[in-house]
Amino acid sequence: MPGLLLRCLIAFVLLSLTYNPTRWNFVHWARGAWAEDMPMVALAGLLLLTGYVIYLRATLRSIGAFGMALVAALVAALLWVLVDRGFVSLDNPGLNTWIGIAALSVILGVGLSWSLIRRRLSGQADVDDVDE
């Protein structure tokens, strides 16, 4: 479980570095710095893109689009319960953005950790996991 939480946390950092409701994010910075610091903006953008490629490729390979939709539906149902019970209010657009970032980080974290989760649940290792 610590591996899953770490992967979700890294995905959260990746997503929130890209965009969040504060002014401390890549999108906000890149808009203002593009004219005077284009090489640094391009480098930072490519670093973020590399992180997304790693996460998305691993997620699509491990759980696929259907699995991503299923995890998204589970996260949405959990959010629905939290809103219905009064624990969360969706009146604040900034909070909604953070909730969206957290939901996407769970999807990416589960996708990146799926082989480990599957091995724990079923006792079966994926072919890529078997030592020679």
Domain count for the chain, please give it: 1
Q: Report whether 15 contacts 104 (CB < 8 A).
A: yes
What pLDDT sits at residue 126?
Answer: 61
Structural domain boundaries, residue 71: 2-126
41 falls within a domain: yes
Mean pLDDT, range 68-88, rounded to an integer:
96
- Express each pLDDT in 34-48 by its tens digit: 999 999 999 999 999
61 falls within a domain: yes
- Express each pLDDT in 7-25 by its tens digit: 999 999 999 999 999 999 9
What pLDDT sits at residue 95?
Answer: 95
Whole-model pTM: value is: 0.84
Alpha helices in 1-132 (DSSP H): 2-18, 26-33, 38-62, 64-84, 93-122
What pLDDT sits at residue 70?
Answer: 96
Q: Report whether 96 contacts 90 (CB < 8 A).
A: yes
67 falls within a domain: yes
131 falls within a domain: no
Q: Report whether 100 contacts 93 (CB < 8 A).
A: no
